[in-house]
A and B are shown apart, each in its own frame.
Chain A
Amino acid sequence: MQAETEHDRSFTQIVRKPQALVAAARNNVELWANLLIIGWALGFMLWQGVGFAITVGTVFAIWAILSVSLNLVVGFTGLLSVGHVGFFGIGAYTVAILTSDAKYEQLRTEAIPTFGWPFFAALPLGVLLAGIVAIAVGVVFNRFRDDIYVLVSFGFAIISFNVFLNWRNLTRGAFGIHEIPRPAVGSWVLDRELEFLIFALALLGLIMLLSWLIVTSSFGRVLTAIREDEQAIAVFGYRTTHYKLAVWTISAMMAGLAGGLFASWTRFVDPNSFILLESMLLVAIVILGGLATIWGSLLGAMAFVLLEEGMRFLPFLPAIHIGQARLVVLGILLVLLMLFRPQGLVGRYRL
């Protein structure tokens, strides 16, 4: 809230005195962050061409859905959850199991049931399943807060990872599920990358719209109030546990949607995509972009994807280390952010 009023004040100053524009821009971290990241993205696109932009765009869309959804919980409601990857995994595995009808060699692995559902039937079910699990988990988690909330959310990520890894006659364990089909409407299969990108961006837009509706509604204002002072809003007669449970479930369903999208985009899922480190990465992205802003989450996801792709062009970094190097950079960024800008690049709320 504070940052907005500052912004407004500087705006009126600029109208009165145009010279103040330079002064206002100089110290405006938000402006610079926006310019830098969008400029970086455009520069990259021009440099590497359209094909590259399409691939990166899909990765971005999936991460952006995830971070927008997590921001609802972490930024707007103030519950620091590090377990979101569990819902992502539930969505991904549901879509993978229901749509894939690959035939495996029965030498080393167990048989898993095949359903052969179409993508658009499996995706809602994945989202629904993520929501059901979220309700069950959220009822338990609602009692906790702060440090303990972080600990139990770590626990959720670890439990779900272990379920993906060890429920072998459903998930094939570490071998993963192959040949997940792309989404199809009748005979039109979204097989080309561009089509899938448009589909993913459409879903991202939908999620953003939904999040925007949530955070600007009275429901969203209650969430903000819970973040600021839970007891105070409880005194006014709001059932805070219900609100927390509701936003947690909605956010988990969005993560499940991202999971379904991810499964059908990579066409292969295995438990290694849903480890705890990925979840910590997601929290880092949300905080990097900014807490309690939807645009910030997009910016964070974009910065992260650009970082990851940008590292491929570093001459001194071998390709096998990129996955780890992005964690190093993000970890250091997280420390610096906590030190100098705890609300993230364009955030509206400090932890």
Chain B
Amino acid sequence: MIAQRPNLNNTLAIALTAAAAVYVGWKISQSPEQAVQFAFNGLSVGAVYALLAIGFTLVYSTVWFFDLYYGAAAAIGAYGVFYLRSQETLGGLYAVNSIVVNVIFAAVTAGVVAWALYESVYPRFRARVDRSVLFGIGGVLAAGTGVYTGFLLTNPKDLHINLSPVIALGFAVLVTWLLYQAYQGVVAARVLQGLVVITGAAAAALGVYFAYLIANAPDAKLYLSWGVSCMLAGVVGLAFYRGLYVYMRARSQSPLIMLVASLGILLAITALTSIVFESTPRPLPEALGNDPWTFAGATIKGFNVFTVGVALVGFLFLLYLLKFTSFGKSVRAIGDDEEVSKVVGINTTTVIAVVFFIGAVYAAMAGLLSGHDTAIQPRMGLLLLLKGWIASVVGGIGNLYGAIVGGFVLGMIEQFGIWDLAGEWRDVISFVLLILFLSFWPKGLLPRK
């Protein structure tokens, strides 16, 4: 149905690509400096698109419906940073801190923590400890996390101090767990426990030291806000999956129903963002690497290099997660056939919920990186979502390698495309590219096997 006349299509596609390549080659030979500049811009824009596309691909290739909350997550990521740092941005002129917002996020976080405890810890102790005791402890823990989140959001000025205990704890737990994993095959079981305790104590001491360093570094606030706002976007994404999509998918298998429902979510969140923060564009505070470097006659900011690095690291992390962990195996199994994975004993609800969390974190990261690069406005979420979607179509839908390639290709083509046109036409360029790809190359650059 899609390719009715493959021969003509192929000829046309090749002719178009060749013409574009010749034209760009001619332009590059005319002014190489400018070309380098556009290539740099393309890389940094493409990194954001690639980040969006990999998260998008992860979610899409697991559940096979388009979750438009993904765009809202990008906006939440960017506006979360603005919210936490609004005192420092523009001299606090548009400082926002609304009790309603804090309470909502606190409640959502508490709910998600309660769910996570119920799914992960509760089954282990169910046989040994009384139900009401477990529920009581879990409830207190969840409520405590919620209150802590609310507290963080209410006092963004002291974020580095307020977050430091969590950093110490998190560092200690993470290092101990990693060492435990590393020891398991190597050390005899007798020694294992003692070794873990000793290294755990060392890790805790180191964690406390890090926390002390961070508590004395007000500059870290911005980067801590990145973390907090990514986490919040992820938590909201998880909550939407567990609290809404699960029931919706149980009722109907049609992907369009899910798409329309998430359209409603996107609509509501975008509008709420414009109510809380007005709809005019706002800048984010200065981040690292704002001084431009000159390189081969073109300027590039350290921040853009950092963005590219984040995209690559994010890609490698996801690749590791999907290829080499049991979690990744279950994700791929669910992507192949959800019913069968359920039958073989994968807890599909939990795994997909975590996938939604990771996807939303990626979206939020991309949103805040692009927000630092340009400006933020409530509508940005939808546009970023569409760019990520296009990048994943260009790269080959449902393929992780395709996603990162597609992101960079889209960024490059967009930037080289505005060489002759003005910058405001870049959305048009990416959609024209999408339509060309769908018409001539519907499987994308790297088709999913």
Residues on A facing B (Cβ under 8 Å): 80, 82, 140, 143-144, 146-148, 150-152, 154-156, 158-159, 162-163, 165-166, 275-277, 280-281, 283-284, 287, 321, 324-328, 330-335, 338-339, 342, 350-351
Interfacial chain A residues near B434, Cβ < 8 Å = 151-152, 155
In whole Å, how far is B421's beta carbon from the nearest beta carbon of chain A?
9
B260 sits at the interface (CB 8 A): yes
Chain A: CB-nearest residue to B254:
A351
B179 sits at the interface (CB 8 A): no
**Contacts known (A146-B256, A331-B268); A162 close to B261, Cβ less than 8 A:** no
Interfacial chain B residues near A331, Cβ < 8 Å = 263-269, 271
Chain B: CB-nearest residue to A335:
B264
B435 sits at the interface (CB 8 A): yes
**Contacts known (A158-B427, A280-B263); A339 close to B248, Cβ less than 8 A:** yes
**Contact between A147 and B255 (Cβ–Cβ < 8 Å)?**
yes
**Contacts known (A151-B389, A166-B422, A321-B275); A332 close to B268, Cβ less than 8 A:** yes
Interfacial chain B residues near A284, Cβ < 8 Å = 263-264, 267
With A324-B271, A328-B272, A339-B244 given, name 17 new contacts (CB 8 A). A80-B256, A143-B438, A148-B393, A148-B438, A150-B256, A151-B386, A151-B393, A152-B431, A152-B434, A155-B431, A159-B428, A283-B263, A327-B267, A331-B267, A331-B271, A334-B261, A338-B257
Q: Say which residue of A143, A287, A327 sits within 8 Å of B2 (CB atoms).
A: A143
Residues on B facing A (Cβ under 8 Å): 1-2, 65-66, 244, 247-248, 251-252, 254-261, 263-272, 274-275, 279, 379, 382-383, 386, 389-390, 393, 422, 424-425, 427-428, 431-432, 434-435, 438-439
In whole Å, how far is A123's beta carbon from the nearest beta carbon of chain B?
27
**Contacts known (A339-B251, A351-B254); A158 close to B268, Cβ less than 8 A:** no
Interfacial chain B residues near A277, Cβ < 8 Å = 267, 270-271, 379, 382
Tell me the complex Cα distance, A171–B417, Å.
23
Main secondary structure of the interface of B (DSSP, over half): helix
Interfacial chain A residues near B2, Cβ < 8 Å = 143-144
**Contact between A144 and B275 (Cβ–Cβ < 8 Å)?**
no
**Contact between A159 and B264 (Cβ–Cβ < 8 Å)?**
no
Q: Report which residue of B1, B2, B379, B424 has the largest number of chain A beta carbons within 10 angstroms of its beta carbon.
A: B1
Chain A: CB-nearest residue to B423:
A166
Interfacial chain A residues near B264, Cβ < 8 Å = 284, 330-335, 338
Tell me the complex Cα distance, A82–B266, Å.
14
Q: List 12 A-B contacts (CB under 8 A).
A: A82-B263, A140-B439, A147-B65, A152-B431, A152-B435, A154-B386, A155-B434, A276-B379, A277-B379, A281-B267, A335-B244, A338-B264
Chain B: CB-nearest residue to A147:
B66
Interfacial chain A residues near B256, Cβ < 8 Å = 80, 146-147, 150, 351
**Contact between A339 and B261 (Cβ–Cβ < 8 Å)?**
yes
Tell me the complex Cα distance, A148–B259, Å.
11
**Contacts known (A144-B438, A166-B422); A159 close to B431, Cβ less than 8 A:** yes
**Contact between A338 and B271 (Cβ–Cβ < 8 Å)?**
no
**Contact between B267 and A158 (Cβ–Cβ < 8 Å)?**
no
Interfacial chain A residues near B259, Cβ < 8 Å = 80, 147, 150
Interfacial chain B residues near A280, Cβ < 8 Å = 263, 266-267
In whole Å, how far is B276's beta carbon from the nearest beta carbon of chain A?
10
Tell me the complex Cα distance, A279–B35, Å.
37
**Contacts known (A166-B425, A280-B267, A335-B265); A324 close to B275, Cβ less than 8 A:** yes
Tell me the complex Cα distance, A327–B271, Å.
6
> Top 5 A-B pairs ranked by shortest CB distance?
A334-B264, A331-B268, A327-B271, A331-B267, A155-B431
Interfacial chain A residues near B265, Cβ < 8 Å = 331, 335
Chain A: CB-nearest residue to B279:
A324
Q: Say which residue of B248, B270, B428, B432 sits within 8 Å of A338 (CB atoms).
A: B248
Interfacial chain B residues near A281, Cβ < 8 Å = 267
In whole Å, how far is A308's beta carbon from the nearest beta carbon of chain B?
13
Tell me the complex Cα distance, A274–B23, Å.
34
**Contacts known (A147-B259, A150-B259, A162-B427); A334 close to B439, Cβ less than 8 A:** no
**Contact between A158 and B431 (Cβ–Cβ < 8 Å)?**
yes
Interfacial chain B residues near A155, Cβ < 8 Å = 386, 431, 434-435
**Contact between A140 and B435 (Cβ–Cβ < 8 Å)?**
yes
Interfacial chain B residues near A334, Cβ < 8 Å = 260-261, 263-264, 267
